[in-house]
Structure 1
Amino acid sequence: MKIRLLLWPLSLLYAWGLRIRHLFYDLGLIKSVVFKTPTICVGNLSLGGTGKTPMIALLIEYYLSKGLHIAVVSRGYGRKTHGLIEANFESTASQIGDEPFQIYRTFPQIRMVVCASRVRAMAYLEASHFHGVAEKKISLGPNQSGSQSPPDLVLLDDAFQHRAIKAQFNILLTTYSKPFFKDFYLPAGTLRDHQLRVKKAQVVVVTKSPNPIDKDKNESFVSRLNLRPNQPVFFSHLKYASTLVGLKEHISLDTLKGEKIVLVTAIANPEPLVVFLTSIGAVVKHLKYADHHFFTPSEINLLKQYNRIICTHKDFVKLSDEIPQLFYLPVSHDFSERDKQAFYKALPEV
């Protein structure tokens, strides 16, 4: 708490810097680019752990079911490469980042492009002229001609704070246990964008909520979000699968009751998974690593000594080639039946 108080003046400066930056964009002093291809942005106001990757997966499933060609644009956080890269069947997590790799392995029929510049990535996908508030020429670089056919829809992963590109539709996520209105600005807290930006989202989703959620607590929570009148807000909860998934077999969760298990995580917030496994009766030994951690050979050799390891899907795609006794527990966002219908109805038609 003392450290937070010491950092508080820096957080105030950071918050004012954000307001000035957004004001410049709002006044047109800094230009945003609008692309012809429909775009949906999934983002948050804070650093990590709100469930962006499961939300991207949910949107991919939904729009694939409508017969659309989907592309995802991501920064590829934590990758060992630079520049613009489009994923292919030979791509690795170190080349495109662990979360894009997870998404691409799950949905190989989509196009996955990683680049620090979302504008450059979109120009690559369209591979043609685009229009916007400002007309800019984007250099694609060698061997990046964008020869594949353009997608029907592009999902912008973690791009809410990137004003250089203007998405047609924004989904903002915040967690129930640590909503943005209880957070501090960097460096005292984890807020990286201004709280007032919540009003710019077409949809707000409160993730990792209790299920069921108390109606009075729901209304109190919504009032503190400081939304526009009639701005849609939905509460989602984590839905864990009933089986563990491995390379060669599936295991029922029922078999974990009373069992000692090893859980390996390299994600921003593993606590909900730990709580869930404990709630079903498992005795959890948790080996916790930093988010986006790439495991060293010595760490992998250490993990190989265990008979069975449970991990997240993101860690599974990085480790399963090296550790055959690895299993992951699938997880997704789920809504109450009423919220589910309203959420999908709120999504844009493409």
Structure 2
Amino acid sequence: MKIFLLPVSWLFRIAVSVRNFLYSSGIFKAKVLTPKIISVGNIAAGGTGKTPFVELLTEYLLNKGKFVIIVSKGYKRESDDIKVVETGFKNDKHELNTENLGDEALMLLENLSSKGLEGGLLVVGDNKTKTAKFAATKFKPEVIIIDDGFQHRKLFRDLDIVIVNPNSSKHLIPAGYLREPLKNFKRADLIVVNNKFLKDPVNENRKNKPQVICSYKFDSFRNNKTVIGTGEIKSAVVFCGIGEPGSFKMLIDELKIKTDQFLVFPDHYNYTNEDLDKIMLAFKDHRSSHILTTQKDYVRLLNSELVQNAKSENTYKNLLFNFPLYFAKIKMQINSNGEYLFSEIDNLLKSD
């Protein structure tokens, strides 16, 4: 916690509380759309597991034959126009990159595509309400999933799901990581506790809410060419630029991989040549057998314009193609109350 920023956090709390009051009291009206709207969001900024849960939810709906559209902001992308991509689109020729779609949106698309899940759309736009309205009007889906929608109260939702990280800060940004007070869990219809690799103490602000318990399950280490087992990794330089790097470090430790050096970068980070040189130098200095990162970081590196549009060798290509760089493939699994989650969704789809 950054104590010196607490006064700013208090001002932020006041602003958030006023805004929420205006919506809750009906002074500000939320936009109502024809499709069923499911919001997946959080209270803490970053690292709660929204994207894997959106993937899980989309997979369930597509397997039921529903026409689903995911609306995402595509955080930290450089393009500001609306992008529309089919969920089954294979980005083999890299027509899409993180600059025009965003790393998490592109990772979500690649995961859905790898499962052969067709029949849905990913629509990326800066303004969630305008993007959702565009998607509803133009494509007429049965369901729209709003990625990171809990604070976006301009849009009415039929089901409000909040993902919880058990280690969330108790202070609002910028002193902590909360986007609004914990008491606002009461606004959610359903809480998903993402334990990742942790045991979760029940928070008093959500103990009376329906809860679904999830966790992460390690699948494999892979890159765009190869899948390897942990037994092949003697030691590794590990790096990541995600919302909660500690959870990735915990995975590496649980897999009993000897970590020569662990490098942490900001979430959604645009790596510089100097950063990549530092990673490769650490690999050489420690004589490591591998370099390991997260899928989000790997997607960001591989699908950068610096790789796709480069006509000659550069630092990005050097790390990706000349070093043993692998990402951890992680899956989200439901540990308890999954039947409640899916019954809520099924009931929503049956309602008029």
Q: TM-score, normalised by structure 1?
A: 0.81
CA distance in 1, matches of 2:247, 2:175: 24
What is aligned with 1:173? 163
| Equivalent residue runs for 1:1-350 within 5 Å | 3-4=2-3, 6-87=4-85, 89=91, 90-108=95-113, 109=118, 110-127=120-137, 146=138, 149-178=139-168, 182-208=169-195, 213=199, 218=201, 221-222=202-203, 224-226=204-206, 229=208, 231-241=209-219, 243-256=220-233, 259-284=234-259, 285-300=261-276, 303=279, 306=283, 308-320=290-302, 322=317, 323-324=320-321, 325-336=324-335, 338-349=336-347, 350=349
Letter in 2 for 1:334: Q
* SS in structure 1 of the partner of residue 250 of structure 2: helix
* SS in structure 2 of the partner of residue 330 of structure 1: strand
Shift of 1:202: 1.2
CA distance in 2, matches of 1:245, 1:226: 37
Deviation string, structure 1 residues 137-162 (Cα, Å, up to 9, x no partner):
xxxxxxxxx4xx43222111111101
* SS in structure 2 of the partner of residue 154 of structure 1: strand
Structure 1 residues 116, 194: CA separation in 2 closer, same or farther (over 3 Å shift)? Answer: farther
Does the 8 Å contact 2:9/2:172 carry over to 1? yes
Query: What do you get for the CA RMSD once the two structures are aligned?
Result: 2.3
Does the 8 Å contact 1:87/1:96 carry over to 2? no
CA distance in 2, matches of 1:151, 1:272: 35
CA distance in 1, matches of 2:9, 2:223: 44
CA distance in 1, matches of 2:181, 2:153: 13
Shift of 1:262: 1.8
Letter in 2 for 1:313: Q
Letter in 2 for 1:317: V
- Extract unaligned runs of 5+ from structure 1: 128-145
CA distance in 1, matches of 2:50, 2:232: 30
CA distance in 1, matches of 2:145, 2:42: 14
* SS in structure 2 of the partner of residue 111 of structure 1: strand
Letter in 2 for 1:169: L
Identical aligned residues as a percent: 24
Does the 8 Å contact 1:177/1:208 carry over to 2? no
* SS in structure 1 of the partner of residue 152 of structure 2: coil
CA distance in 1, matches of 2:225, 2:280: 17
Deviation string, structure 1 residues 144-181 (Cα, Å, up to 9, x no partner):
xx4xx432221111111011111111110111122xxx
CA distance in 1, matches of 2:83, 2:197: 39
Shift of 1:9: 2.9
Does the 8 Å contact 1:11/1:186 carry over to 2? yes
Does the 8 Å contact 1:169/1:348 carry over to 2? no
Structure 1 residues 116, 348: CA separation in 2 closer, same or farther (over 3 Å shift)? Answer: farther
Does the 8 Å contact 2:69/2:123 carry over to 1? yes
Letter in 1 for 2:136: E
- Extract unaligned runs of 5+ from structure 2: 284-288, 308-316
CA distance in 1, matches of 2:7, 2:346: 41
Deviation string, structure 1 residues 200-222 (Cα, Å, up to 9, x no partner):
211101212556x5xxx75xx24
Letter in 1 for 2:263: L
Does the 8 Å contact 1:10/1:187 carry over to 2? yes
Structure 1 residues 38, 14: CA separation in 2 closer, same or farther (over 3 Å shift)? Answer: same
Does the 8 Å contact 2:237/2:279 carry over to 1? no
Structure 1 residues 125, 330: CA separation in 2 closer, same or farther (over 3 Å shift)? Answer: same
Q: TM-score, normalised by structure 2?
A: 0.81
Q: Number of aligned residue pairs: give it.
A: 312
Does the 8 Å contact 2:196/2:247 carry over to 1? no
CA distance in 1, matches of 2:344, 2:133: 27
